[in-house]
Amino acid sequence: MELSNLDIEKIRADFPILSRKVNGHPLVYFDNAATSQTPKAVIDAIVEYYEGYNANIHRGVHSLSQEATDAYEEARETIRAHFNAQKKEEIIFTSGTTHGINLVANGFASELKTGDEVIVSALEHHSNIVPWQMLCEKTGAQLKVIPMTESGELDIEAFEDLLNKNTKLVFVNHVSNALGTVNPIQKIITDAHQKGAAVLIDGAQAAPHIKADVQALDVDFYVVSGHKMCGPTGVGVLYGKEEWLNKLPPYQGGGEMIDQVTFEKTTYAGLPHKFEAGTPNICGGIAFGKAIDYLNEIGFETIAAYEHELLTYATAQLLEIEGVKIYGTSKEKTAVISFNIEGIHPYDIGTIIDKLGIAVRTGHHCAQPIMDYYKIPGTVRASFSFYNTKEEIDAFVQAVKRAKIMLS
Amino acid sequence: MKQKRTNSLSNIKVIQEEIVEEFEMFDDWMQRYEYMIELGKSLPLIDEQYKTEENIIKGCQSKVWVHADMQDGKVVFTADSDAIITKGIIAILIRVFSNQEPQAILDANTDFIDEIGLKEHLSPTRANGLVSMIKQLKMYALAYQTKVN
């Protein structure tokens, strides 16, 4: 396979974990949609922080605190530039996508009333269903669902029918975690705005592969996690339009987010601090910035082209195995293959190929409504990253064949 | 009857030792898994009427149904799973614990799991929920023991 402009040997050398063995076999890591691996540059940033300038930020007058504050704010700027937000204040550090979604859902509790409608999609991760269900229970708003089609795409016509003047919010993921489908978010955002509804896009699965431009999209909120973008776990970002962030109440009370505190009344700090109560994941934020730098050095177009080649190759190889059925066959998809082999439980396949050093995800992928749609207990999900290779796909396909023989 | 009762715990130990010996014949994980899959085929299957939501063991990625019955002072288990490795695991547990007295089931340890190379499945977060299965079998035993008392 002709591999696009990507020095795979050099890239693999950046990821120490890729040289380890699992159960006596070289690790083949195909669970990237759950957590991506961490390059040396990011690991170094974490070590440098703790060895060199670990201190609390924004409040200290001493030098270490200043250095840590500078590095943290520099990371915010890196992230702002990456997503092309207009202002740094629109970038809120969170503990991850789930936190970002809950922050917005909580904020909207005071915005919604009985009779209002909230639209989610059938392709959502549980983290983008449950907070909205809770919000609707609290406010009396009604939850509507954009149905999916057999190919794992959203039924956009049905979405148009769901939209009306009562629609206040629309929540859709940019890319489905279970199937890899890339959703037509630009159209969804434009159409929702025409009816006056705000839109939150869950970018967790898209962000490692697609560089989103929040201004071009005109999206109201966009949420991502660091650990899916070669950054550490426990850190993420909520982008929100300044006007929305000013409007929504703070999510958590505490230090850092205040302006003045008396027992009579507290006034809140300005953005972004209003939403960043307490000591944040300082090291995580800094390392997340480094991860984004790392990805941009390789280039998102290069990453997408290479991963697409891996996807095409793996899809063809897998389909040669009799009984394989792939779920999610949208033309626009990221490097994710969700599949089953007829008559075999996904859990059994995952267990056997783990013994051969291959890490995939099995189960419902926190997207039970999708599994219910296909009437299956779950799938085996192999998700590729730019540091994976065709040789690894060969090893994976061999392992699946072996599992099939054992399990049939 | 009295005699049998005191023997139940040692019966469990004997069966566990048998299983350990059987697994010792295999050199690698693959043969062990193949054997486990074979054992799954000998599982006393749960009657379809008991394959209900309430009888599903929580904490497993695959579905595992277990039913218990008391016959002549002994707990008789039947089960099924939609995944065949899990079916093998529950079959091993049932071979050990079925047809035993409730107190013996409660008193028995499960160290043999480690010895047959399935220790990795004992982690409480492991998706197959071996820990949940053992807990559920012991819960049934406890319920019957409470009735006996």
**What residues contact residue A14 under an 8 Å CB cut-off, 6+ apart?**
A39, A40, A41, A294, A387
Confidence (pLDDT) at B37: 92
Instruction: Return the structure tokens found at B33.
Output: 């898994």
Distance between CA atoms of A184 and A165, rounded to whole angstroms?
21
Residue A309 and residue A343 in contact, taking contact as beta carbons nearer than 8 Å? no
Percent of chain A with pLDDT over 90: 85
Confidence (pLDDT) at A253: 75
Confidence (pLDDT) at B28: 86
Instruction: Look at domain B2-148 and name its CATH class.
Output: alpha beta
Q: Which of B148, B139, B147, B146 is nearest to B68 (CA)?
A: B139
Side chain identity at residue B111, one-letter code? D
pLDDT of residue A1 exceeding 50: no
Give the one of B29, B63, B85 whose C-beta lies nearest to A348's C-beta.
B85
Q: Which residues of B touch A377 (CB under 8 A)?
A: 62-63, 82
pLDDT of residue B93 exceeding 90: yes
Residue B82 and residue B99 in contact, taking contact as beta carbons nearer than 8 Å? no
Distance between CA atoms of A160 and A147, rounded to whole angstroms?
11
Closest chain A residue to the Cα of B86, Cα to Cα: A348
Side chain identity at residue B23, one-letter code? F
pLDDT of residue B119 exceeding 90: no
Q: Which range has the worst mean pLDDT, A24-33, A243-252, A322-331?
A: A243-252
Confidence (pLDDT) at A49: 98
pLDDT band for position B128 (cuts 50, 70, 90): low
Percent of chain A with pLDDT over 70: 99
Confidence (pLDDT) at B1: 46
pLDDT digits (tens, 9 = 90+) for B5-51: 558 888 999 999 999 999 999 888 888 899 999 999 999 999 999 99
Confidence (pLDDT) at B118: 76
Q: Which range has the worst mean pLDDT, A208-217, A320-329, B125-134?
A: B125-134
Strands A142-146 and A117-121: parallel
CB contact under 8 A, A355 and B83: no
C-alpha Rg value of chain B to the nearest Å = 15
Distance between CA atoms of A232 and A281, rounded to whole angstroms?
10
Residues paired with A118 in a beta bridge: A143, A169
Give the one of B29, B34, B84 whose C-beta lies nearest to A348's C-beta.
B84
**What residues contact residue A77 under an 8 Å CB cut-off, 6+ apart?**
A88
**What residues contact residue A226 under an 8 Å CB cut-off, 6+ apart?**
A96, A232, A233, A234, A235, A236, A237, A284, A287, A288, A291
CB proximity under 8 Å: A 324-383 to B? 344-345, 347-348, 351-352, 355, 362-363, 377-378
- Tokens 């690991």 sit at which residue? A43
Interface test mutation site (partner B, options A23, A341, A344, A348, max chain B beta carbons within 10 A) = A348
Average pLDDT over every residue of A243-268:
82
Phi and psi based region of residue B43 (left: phi greater than 0; alpha: psi -120 to 50; beta: remaining): beta
Mean per-residue pLDDT of chain A? 94
Residues paired with A199 in a beta bridge: A170
Average pLDDT over every residue of A187-210:
97
Kindly tell me the sign of the dihedral angle through the C-alpha atoms of A261, A265, A269, A272. Answer: positive
pLDDT band for position A246 (cuts 50, 70, 90): very high
CB contact under 8 A, A363 and B86: no
Confidence (pLDDT) at B2: 47
Burial class (CB in 10 A: 0-12, 13-18, 19+), B135: middle
A5 touches B at CB < 8 Å: no
Q: Which range has the worst mean pLDDT, A18-22, A49-53, A122-126, B92-96?
A: A122-126
The stretches of A171-251 forming alpha helices (DSSP H) are 185-194, 214-217, 242-247
pLDDT of residue A141 exceeding 90: yes
Give the one of A344, A347, A363 whose C-beta lies nearest to B86's C-beta.
A347
SS3 state at A166 = coil
Residue A219 and residue A201 in contact, taking contact as beta carbons nearer than 8 Å? yes
Interface test mutation site (partner A, options B31, B81, B84, B130, max chain A beta carbons within 10 A) = B84
Residue A237 and residue A79 in contact, taking contact as beta carbons nearer than 8 Å? yes
Mean per-residue pLDDT of chain B? 87
Residue B114: alpha-carbon gap to chain centroid: 14
SS3 state at B17 = helix
pLDDT of residue B68 exceeding 80: yes
Q: Which residues of A touch B35 (CB under 8 A)?
A: none
C-alpha distances in Å from residue B37, one per residue of A56, A305, A408, B116: 55, 41, 10, 14
For residue B101, the distance in angstroms to the closest alpha carbon of chain A comes to: 32
Average pLDDT over every residue of A130-153:
93
A37 touches B at CB < 8 Å: no
Residue A283 bears catalytic tag: no
Instruction: Return the structure tokens found at A375.
Output: 């009437």
Residue A255 and residue A246 in contact, taking contact as beta carbons nearer than 8 Å? no
pLDDT of residue A126 exceeding 90: no
Measured at the CA of B139, the angle between CA B133 and CA B141, to 5 degrees, comes to: 110
Which has more pLDDT, B96 or A363? B96
Domains along chain A with CATH numbers: 8-30+299-407 (3.90.1150.10), 43-297 (3.40.640.10)
**Long-range interactions of B105-111: CB distance < 8 A, separation 24+:** B105/B12, B105/B75, B105/B137, B105/B138, B105/B141, B106/B138, B106/B141, B106/B142, B106/B145, B107/B9, B108/B9, B108/B12, B108/B13, B108/B16, B110/B134
